[in-house]
């Protein structure tokens, strides 16, 4: 965990970052509040609250909701594109399982939310690094097959190197096939991420990096497994940065739809670069609470966990992760 000595040099920057974070979240809530309150045309049964609580609604009810949405029943006389879009989002959620996002493993579902993560870790040279943002941001479902995530550049604070903004990233998910609880409860998708060199070394990679990923998930009642396998492939500078292949698996257990204890296995296999031929694996126990309704469509989820090195070689250890999600 971050020490007092580490935090002191970055106190002014950290205060500015925290203030910016609260202003950003407040702006999002205020900006979306008219949109969130004017959802009388969306059937109550097909709202996000029902979508994240499948145990409270039968499969027959969800199917009825989808039919209700498609038929246009319940529309107001002024059917705006926002209402049509949100009905499509609700229908998409009904057609897939209902799991919360793990802490490290890429969420194997299409989701619509604003997510802000932070982490603090001890590096292999015993220096410490904190990451505010951690590659997450606004996630939007533009149609029933895709999700687009745009992440603001993270702020990376180091106690032995210059601190500053990291790289901007973009992530796109494609849902190939899926089925909700009671109908098979599975998901298969293809994802593609990209980070762009907007940050300066050591906080930015200095090169564009592509991250193709195969994602699968399967659930059995209260238990589910989410699995991703992908690569981190620089478009240039591979001799210095190297290439890596990442295999993550998250095991989750659901308690009353609001308490999600989990453990993750996070493995990285290095090719080229200074760590070529090496492998590191972490075990990440954690818990997520939510989602709790705070407005008609707006919900809140929070979580915490720690990555612990399970292999002799590791580039960092004891990385604490905090997460806040605002699904809508």
Each residue of 1-23: pLDDT tens digit?
A: 333 333 333 333 444 344 444 54
Predicted local confidence at residue 2, as pLDDT: 38
Query: Do 188 and 178 meet the contact criterion of CB atoms below 8 Å apart?
Result: yes
pLDDT at position 76 over 90: no
CB 37 within 8 A of CB 296: yes
Beta carbons of 191 and 210 less than 8 angstroms apart: no
CB proximity list for 255: less than 8 A, separation 6 or greater: 222, 261
Instruction: Flag whether 78 is in a domain.
Output: no
In contact, 264 and 296? CB cutoff 8 Å? no
> In this predicted structure, what is the pLDDT of residue 328?
96
Q: What's the whole-model pTM score?
A: 0.78
CATH number, position 27: 2.40.160.40
Residue where the block lists tokens 């399967």: 218
Contact of 113 with 326, CB cutoff 8 Å: yes
What is the structure's pLDDT at 64? 46
**Residue 64 in domain:** no
Average pLDDT score over residue span 142-150: 97
Range list of H helices, 80-130:
81-94
> Looking at the domain assignment, is residue 53 inside a domain?
no
Q: Is 61 within the bounds of a domain?
A: no
- d(CA 162, CA 81) in angstroms, rounded, equals 46
Tell me, what's the pLDDT at 260?
98
* 43: in domain: no
110 in a structural domain: yes
Cβ atoms < 10 Å from Cβ of 166: 25
d(CA 315, CA 125) in angstroms, rounded, equals 8
Q: pLDDT for 52-65, tens place per residue? A: 444 434 344 444 44
DSSP state of 199: S
Q: Give 197-228 pLDDT, tens digit per residue.
A: 999 888 999 999 999 999 999 999 999 999 99
> DSSP assignment of 25-86, as one string?
HHHHHHHHHHHHH--TTS-GGGSHHHHT-GGGS-HHHHHHHHHHHHHTTT--SS--HHHHHH
Residue 45 falls within a domain, yes or no?
no
| Residue 55 token pair | 């145990």
- pLDDT classification of 67: cutoffs 50, 70, 90: very low
Q: The tokens of 155 are what?
A: 């702020």
Q: How many domains does the chain have?
A: 1
Domain housing 133 = 4-37+95-327
């Amino acid at each position: 965990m971050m020490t007092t000595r580490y935090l002191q040099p970055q106190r002014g920057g950290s205060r500015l970052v925290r203030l910016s974070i609260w202003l950003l979240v407040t702006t999002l809530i205020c900006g979306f509040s008219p949109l969130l309150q004017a959802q009388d045309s969306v059937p109550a049964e097909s709202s996000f609250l029902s979508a994240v609580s499948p145990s409270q609604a039968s499969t027959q009810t969800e199917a009825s909701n989808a039919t209700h949405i498609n038929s246009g029943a319940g529309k107001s006389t002024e059917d705006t594109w926002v209402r049509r879009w949100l009905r499509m989002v609700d229908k998409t959620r009904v057609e897939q399982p209902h799991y919360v996002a793990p802490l490290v493993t890429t969420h194997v579902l299409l989701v619509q939310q604003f997510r802000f993560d932070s982490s603090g870790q001890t590096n292999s040279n015993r220096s410490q690094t904190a990451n505010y943002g951690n590659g997450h941001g606004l996630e939007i479902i533009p149609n029933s097959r895709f999700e687009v995530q745009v992440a603001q550049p993270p702020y990376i604070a180091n106690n032995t190197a210059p601190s500053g903004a990291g790289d901007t990233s973009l992530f796109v998910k494609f849902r190939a096939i899926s089925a909700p609880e009671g109908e098979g409860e599975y998901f298969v998708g293809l994802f593609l991420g990209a980070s762009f060199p907007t940050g300066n070394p050591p906080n930015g990679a200095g090169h564009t990096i592509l991250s193709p990923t195969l994602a699968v998930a399967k659930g059995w009642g209260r238990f589910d497994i989410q699995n991703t396998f992908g690569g981190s492939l620089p478009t240039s500078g591979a001799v210095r940065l190297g290439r890596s292949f990442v295999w993550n698996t998250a095991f989750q257990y659901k308690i009353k739809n609001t308490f999600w204890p989990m453990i993750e296995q996070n493995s990285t296999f290095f090719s080229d670069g200074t760590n070529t031929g090496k492998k590191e694996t972490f075990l990440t126990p954690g818990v997520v609470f939510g989602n709790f309704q705070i407005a008609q469509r707006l919900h809140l989820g929070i979580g915490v966990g720690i990555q612990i090195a399970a292999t002799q070689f590791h580039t960092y250890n004891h990385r604490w992760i905090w997460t806040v999600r605002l699904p809508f």
